Structure 1
Amino acid sequence: MVDSLGDSLDRALEGAFTRRIPQSAQAQMKYLVKQLKGTRAVAQALGISQRTVERYVTGRLKRPRRDLAARMEREVRKRWQPQIRARARKKAASTDGIVVSTRARFGFTAAPGTTDDARVRHITQALGPRWAERLFEAREQGATEQHLLEIAAEGLGRYYFRDDGRRARGLDVEFTDVQEIEIVL
């Protein structure tokens, strides 16, 4: 399964964590109950009964099924260290930017007579703070994966293909068939 750009953005922010997420099922469930302010909300978020949540919190249940363990970990990661996550996002969006490393098919819309056949390329490119901010804002507002890829394509087009405006003016980049993608802060 190929990672999505949105998942890669989330993982990049998780790289800034200063502590590990809770490891045991009981600790994860207690954390979720505290964050979501009750067992009913946790049960709805995880798709299990409220009584099951209570059993994990008290320690009567200790080993969740594999699918439940994955859902619990995902929900904890989403909420873990929000201030650290916000600080890393702010730093990337104001000073540092991000680095996009991808293997995908790139095609172009350009002037007549130029080669615009799409082909798979492996590209690692730093994008400025403006692009980091646009990607994080879009992700936070629930943008689709396609919209995130369009933003990344604009950034890659500007920095990689057009050399920040020094060449290939008017070149529009098509970013499709993503085989792998990783974001680094």
Structure 2
Amino acid sequence: MVSSLGDSLDRALEKAFTRPAPKSARAQMKYLVKQLKGTKAAAAALGVSQRTVERYIKGQIKRPRHDLAARIEREVKKRWQPQLRAKAKKAAATSTGIVVTTRARFGFTAAPGTTDDGRLRHINQALSPQWAQKLFDARDQGATEQQLLDIAAQGLGHHYFRDNGRRARDLDVEFTDVQEIDITL
């Protein structure tokens, strides 16, 4: 299963949580209603009727459909412990950076007339806080998966392939066919 870079950023931030998010559908729904300030807003966020939300809160419905369960969990985790999430983002973007572990095809374009065909590589590389900041800012502004991958490719190109600017200055990195990607803070 191919993981997306955006999902991997979210999972990395979830590791900063100090308490587990609610597990039962009823507890999750109650949390969403409280966070969104009403059943109508919670229903809109989940794409269900207001009455359905009320049934979950009353305990009349206990097990949501698989697709709805995934949406509920995603919405809860998106809002769970926002201060800890912000603190982890700030630490990664100002001091610690992130570590990117990926298995993908990397190809290169360098000075005119020179190329290196892409090949599958497994890379585990720490990126400086500036690249973490760029990734988090892009994610918060609704960047597409391809835009996030482009930022990661620039960061990997700078740190891994160009050795922080000490070699291969004109090398442009092409980051394609991502088989797996994982971010840790």
C-alpha separation in 1, matches of 2:146 and 2:63: 37
Deviation at 1:165? Answer: 1.0
Alignment-derived partner of residue 48 in structure 2:
48
Specify the code of the residue in structure 2 equivalent to 1:86: A
Specify the code of the residue in structure 2 equivalent to 1:11: R
Deviation at 1:111? Answer: 2.1
State the SS of the aligned residue for 1:116.
strand
C-alpha separation in 2, matches of 1:66 and 1:157: 40
Alignment-derived partner of residue 160 in structure 2:
160
Alignment-derived partner of residue 75 in structure 2:
75
Alignment deviations for residues 40-89 of structure 1 (CA, whole Å, 9 cap, x no partner): 11111111111110011111211112221111111101111000000000
Report if the CA contact (8 A) 2:40-2:50 is conserved: yes
C-alpha separation in 1, matches of 2:9 and 2:35: 22
Specify the code of the residue in structure 1 equivalent to 2:21: I
- What RMSD in Å do the two structures reach over aligned CA positions? 1.0
C-alpha separation in 2, matches of 1:60 and 1:112: 68
Give TM-score scaled by structure 1 length.
0.97
Specify the code of the residue in structure 1 equivalent to 2:43: A
Q: Quick check: 1:148 aligned with 2:142? A: no
Alignment of 1:94-133 (within 5 A): 94-112=94-112, 114-133=114-133
Specify the code of the residue in structure 2 equivalent to 1:178: V
Alignment deviations for residues 111-144 of structure 1 (CA, whole Å, 9 cap, x no partner): 2464511111000000000000000000000011
State the SS of the aligned residue for 1:67.
helix
Pairs aligned (count): 185
State the SS of the aligned residue for 2:163.
coil
State the SS of the aligned residue for 1:182.
strand
C-alpha separation in 1, matches of 2:113 and 2:56: 65
C-alpha separation in 1, matches of 2:110 and 2:94: 32
Give TM-score scaled by structure 2 length.
0.97
C-alpha separation in 1, matches of 2:63 and 2:5: 31
State the SS of the aligned residue for 1:117.
strand
Specify the code of the residue in structure 2 equivalent to 1:123: I
Specify the code of the residue in structure 1 equivalent to 2:182: E
Query: Which deviates the most, 122-131 or 58-67?
Result: 58-67
C-alpha separation in 2, matches of 1:64 and 1:146: 32
Unaligned 5+ runs, structure 1: none
Specify the code of the residue in structure 1 equivalent to 2:51: R
Report if the CA contact (8 A) 2:6-2:145 is conserved: yes
